[in-house]
Chain A
C-alpha cells in the first residue's frame, strides 16, 4: 500500500544518520545540534510515531476519536485513499511535483546540501528528479509495496513507515509475519531484518551509509532482507525479485 503521509515537501530538519553502523559502516550525522540526532534515540523515536500521531489518516471516525487530533478537519492529502485518483496517476503526479520543486530550488539558487549532491539531484536529463514512489520488497512477502520517498525526510522516518507497512496493523502481512509484535528497528541492526537498497549502478547496499539526500537520488528500490543474508552485501547477490517470479521466459 502506498503511504500517503504528507505528500510534497520533504523539508528535513532531522536529517540524521544515527550511528547506523550496520556492519561497521561509517556513521554520518548531518543533523541539527541538540536535535534528536543522537544515536541512542532511535529506539525511543521509533515508538513516538504511531497511528495516533496522524489522527486524520484513515477514516473520519478515526479522526473524530483520536485524542490529540487537533480540531482541524482532515486535509485532502492526509486521508487514506483521498482524493480518489488512481495510484498510477498519483505516482506520476508526485514525480512531477518533486521534479518541479527540485527545479524551483535550483532556480532559487538554494544550496541545501553539498554541491556534488545538488549536482546529483539535477544531473538527470533536463534536471528531472525521478524520486517518488519506489518499490519495496521484503523477504518472505510475496507482493511488494511502494513507498513515497518524497514524503520522508530521514532514514528513521522511512524505516518507521516500512515497519508500519510490513509489520504492524497491516493486512498484507497478518498471517505471514504476525508473530512479530515488537518494533523491528530496521536500521540499527538489532533485529532479524535489515534494510537494503539498490542504487543506480545496480549495487545493493545497506541503507544508512550515505547522507539522506544522496540516498534518495541514488536509490532505485528497497529490500527488507533477513540479516542472515545480508553478510557480504558488497558482493553480488541474488535479484530479490526472483523470489516473486515464477519462471521468467
Chain B
C-alpha cells in the first residue's frame, strides 16, 4: 500500500511500500485523469542507510483536457556510483512529487491513484475503470489501490499535415494533393476508424458476432497505395444527438464521407519513424484537409476496437486512441529516437522539409541519402591512415625499418637503411595534402551550399521613379509594390520570393536614392534610402535600374550606391554581380545605345516595364547569374581540376551545408596545414606534427563520431610489419 500525504510544497509521497523488493522490478504507475495543469515534474528519490535508490520520471506532461496522463516510473537501484548521492542522504526513505501550480498539485494528489504492475512489464494497457472514475472525487487521505487501474505508458500517436501549404497550419494556398501523416502505436487503429462507414464504438458493445457483420475495415496492404473513402466520425455523433431514437434502434448510423483518398500504411519498425505510419493522400482543398485533421483530433480517446485477425491473442482489453497533432519536427525526432537517422541525416531532413525550390531539395536529398556521410567517412578513413603512419613512426620508427612503401623497395630489401621511418612519413604527406585540399575545396563549396539553402538576395536599386517597383511587380507577376508616377513612392524595402531556375531568391525593392538636398525629400525618405543602402550591401546580386530618360543621373546614383564612400563594398561585391537595367526604353528613341557602352564591364539590359520589352532577356541573364553563384561552375575550384584527389565514390556534389560541420572541417583543415608545415621539418618536430594530425582527427570526429585509438592501431598493425 502506498500512502500519499500532501502537506506543503513540495508534497511528499511517503512510500513504506516502495522498498528494496521493488528495486529493479515493477514499474510504478500513477494515472492521472484529465486535470488542468500545464506542467508536472515528478522526481522521486529514496535513500536508506543500506542502499541508495534513485529514480525519476520526467517527461512531457502537457495534458489538454480530454487526455489522460500516465506517469510511470521504475525504481532502480544504482549499483556503482551510488555514493555520489550521499549528499542527499536522509534517514528515512522519501519520495517527493513536485508539481505546479499548487492547486494543480492538489488536484493531482486528489485524483491520483497509485498501483503497482506485476513484474511483467509487457502487460497490456487498461482503460479507466468505472470505479476509478467515481473515486476521482474520493478522499485524499485514504487512497485505495484499485488493481484494475493498471496502466502502461505508451507513446502518443501523432498526426500532421505533412505536405506543403504553409507548414503546420493549414495554409492559404490550396494544393492538388495534401498528405496527412499519422505515426504511432494507434496509427492503424485511427485509420480503421476513418475507413469505417459506421461507428465502431457502438459495434463493440454489441458483441463479437455483430462486429463480424459490420466488417471492421481491412487495412490496405503495407506499402501499397489503395484508394479508400474516408468517413467522418464526427458526423455520427451529430446524427445521434439529433435523433437519439434512431441511433438506438437502427444498427448503425452511416457516417458522412470525408474524402476519397489514397491510403498508404507502413508498419513499424520498417517505416520512417520506426513506428506504424499511415499516410493519407487527400485532396488538397482546405475543407478536406481541415475535415480530416479535425476528424483525427476528434478520435482522441475513442476506445479502440480490436481487430479480428489477431484471433490467436487473448482478447485484449479495449484501449483508447491517444492522438494529438504533432509538434514541429516531431516525426523526425521520433525517427531519430528510433535509430532511423543519424545526426547528419536529421540535419539534412530539416533542410529537406523547408526546401523551397528544386535545387534546395536536391541538395538536401544528397545529404539525406548519406552522400555527405560518405564524404566525411572517406576523410575519416584517410585521416586514420595518416595517423596510423604517424604513430608507427613515433612508436616504432627507432626499432623497425618501416618500408611500407613498396614502390621504393626494389627487391633489395636488405639494404634498407633504418632512417627512423622517415621515408613513410614522406609518403603520407602528399596524402594529407590532398586530404586538406579536398577539405578546402568543400569548404569553398560550402559557402555555395549555404547560399543555396538560405537563398540569394537580389536588391533592385536606383534613383527614385526609375521603375524599380514596376520591375519588381513584373518579376513577381503581381502587384507586390505600389507603383505611382510620383518619385519616392517606395519607402521601405519590399521583399518578394522568387524561384529563379530552382534557386530561391529574395528580390528586394528598395527606396530610390537621391541627394538628400533635393527637393521634396523628407525624413521618411531619408530613412528609406538608408535601408536601401543596407539592402544593397547585403545583396548577392544588385540590379541597378536606370531611367533611360535620365541616364547620367541615374547611373551615377547606382554607382554611388554600389561603390559609394563605403569601402566595405569593394571587396564583397564583384562587378559581375551587378546588372544594369536601362528602363523606360519605350520613352527614348534608342539614344541610350552609345551611353550604354560606358557600362561595358557590367551586364546591361535595356527594357521597358511598360511594354515588357527586353524583360525576358534580363530575366534569363539574372537566372544564369543566380545559378552560377550557387553552382560555382565558373570559379575555377571545380573538382575536375585535380581528379586524383580523394576519390571517394559517390561523393560528387556533396556540399557542407551546416555551420557546425563547417567549423569542424575548417579546424581540421587548419590543423592539417600546420601538419604539412611541421612534417617538412624533419624528425625533430615529428611529435608536434602528429599532434596536429590528432587534432584534425578529433575535429572531424565531432562530425562523424570519434576516432578511437583502436581504429588507428588496427590500421597500423594491418599496414606495417612490426614485431619484436
Chain A bound to chain B? no
A contacts, CB < 8 Å to B:
none
